[in-house]
Structure 1
Amino acid sequence: MVQLHTFVPEIIPMAGRPKIFDEQEAVAKATEVFRDKGYDTASADELLCAMGIGKGSFYLAFKGGKRELYIRSITQFSEDFFQKFSTRIAASEDKVQFVRQFFLSLADASDCDKERGCYLGNALVQLSEKDHEIKKITAQLLKKLQILFAETIRNAQENRQISSTEDPEIIGWHLSNLWNGIHVTRRMESSPKILRNIIEMNLKILI
């Protein structure tokens, strides 16, 4: 497991003092650049400026360079996204309705923010087949979502909140596949109306 809270010193000869920075915060700032620019077009200068560190500190902390930083970014974002998402489901009075609204919010192609996991969805579409480690991270997230969805559906069935008698494990996979697939589709079709219709059709299984 990558340690995200490590502090890395940089020795600056002119000042004779070490520069300390919070890696987790620096990675979060780099994530904003990757989200806006994409992995390929995000430049080293843009990343360093956003992170507020020099090249020396950067290569001490991220010996694998830009690729390692991006993997750290995806890992940290994935963990944060899932923690927030699972916490919000747990706090919801109507968990199935929360899941429905989460998916319907994905139809708003003009406002795909970090709360919806679009950064991860884009990484999965763009780079997962090119990079085994990124594919592994995104696959782990999909599995965690599947388990969470399955537990939510199983509880809803037991409490008679939905009439569906389908296997909750399969419904969980259906929903994680929907989350994955909608990110692929939205790259080709940006109409919120069409995306919403697709999502609503897939969510009929939750009636």
Structure 2
Amino acid sequence: MAGRPKIFDEQEAVKKATEVFRTKSYDTASAEELLTAMGIGKGSFYLAFKGGKEELYIRSIKQFAEDFNQKMGRAIENSEDQVEFIRQFFLRLADVADCDMERGCYLGNALVQLSEKNDEIKKITAALLKSLQKIFAEAIKNALKSEQLKTKEDPEILAWHLTNLWNGIHVTRRMEKSPKILRSLIEMNLSILE
């Protein structure tokens, strides 16, 4: 017997759970809140997510990261000035009052929260950061080819610098809310893109 067929869209259910995790965090999101948001019962939940809340959270991060990286990659690729796109992407992080989905705040916060929970999650978070680094590296290589950048720095290292900035700004935003200070920090870090 094959079991009961799924009567819900898992991707859509994970997307709805992501909103709960985004607003409540992993630790404070209750099973009831997640099930209500996802519109499914406990039985369906545990059939789809045998690892429970942790598996759902990992799937949420992966799905969000894939969507974020695809959008980011397309946006950079389609921009006329890829370096300026990157600059504006980072500078807007200073002015975001709340955790904006388009800036990847959910992912940044999740990486900070979960990166030390266990080895599997640590590997997942490292892979997600590597994907972002690849997007930045490709943009930097393109900018060097089109002479939008004059730097002699290794594009891979520059991309890691940007990935580190992206990751770090999400940590700093937890302590510092001043857009002026955040913008100054970001501008200082972006001065390497010349």
Q: Does 1:29 align with 2:16?
A: yes
Q: Residue in 1 aligned with 2:152? A: 165
Instruction: Classify the secondary structure of the residue corresponding to 2:97.
Output: helix
Which amino acid in the other structure matches residue 91 of structure 2?
Answer: L
Gaps of 5+ in 1: 1-7, 11-17
1:129, 1:135 within 8 Å by CA — same for their partners in 2?
yes
Q: What is the TM-score when the length of structure 2 is the normalising length?
A: 0.94
**Higher helix residue share:** 2
Q: Residue in 1 aligned with 2:133? A: 146
Q: How far did residue 103 of structure 1 move?
A: 0.7
Q: Does 1:42 align with 2:29?
A: yes
Structure number with higher relative contact order (C-alpha < 8 Å, ≥ 6 residues apart): 2
Q: How far did residue 108 of structure 1 move?
A: 2.1
CA deviations on 1:162-203 (whole Å, 9 max, x unpaired) are 222211111111111111111111111111111110000000
Q: Residue in 1 aligned with 2:107? A: 120
Match of 1:183 among 162, 170, 184: 170
1:74, 1:120 within 8 Å by CA — same for their partners in 2?
yes
CA deviations on 1:14-73 (whole Å, 9 max, x unpaired) are xxxx66100000000000000000001101110000000111101111111111111111
Match of 1:99 among 86, 98, 101: 86
Aligned-pair identity (%): 75
Instruction: Classify the secondary structure of the residue corresponding to 2:7.
Output: strand
Q: Distance between the aligned counterparts of 2:107 and 2:114, measured in 1?
A: 10
Q: Does 1:205 align with 2:192?
A: yes
Consecutive aligned runs of 4 or more in structure 1 exceeding 3 Å deviation? none
Q: Distance between the aligned counterparts of 1:130 and 1:19, measured in 2?
A: 30
Which amino acid in the other structure matches residue 67 of structure 2?
Answer: D
Q: How far did residue 9 of structure 1 move?
A: 7.3
Match of 2:43 among 56, 64, 79: 56
Q: Distance between the aligned counterparts of 1:194 and 1:125, measured in 2?
A: 21
Gaps of 5+ in 2: none
**Higher strand residue share:** 1
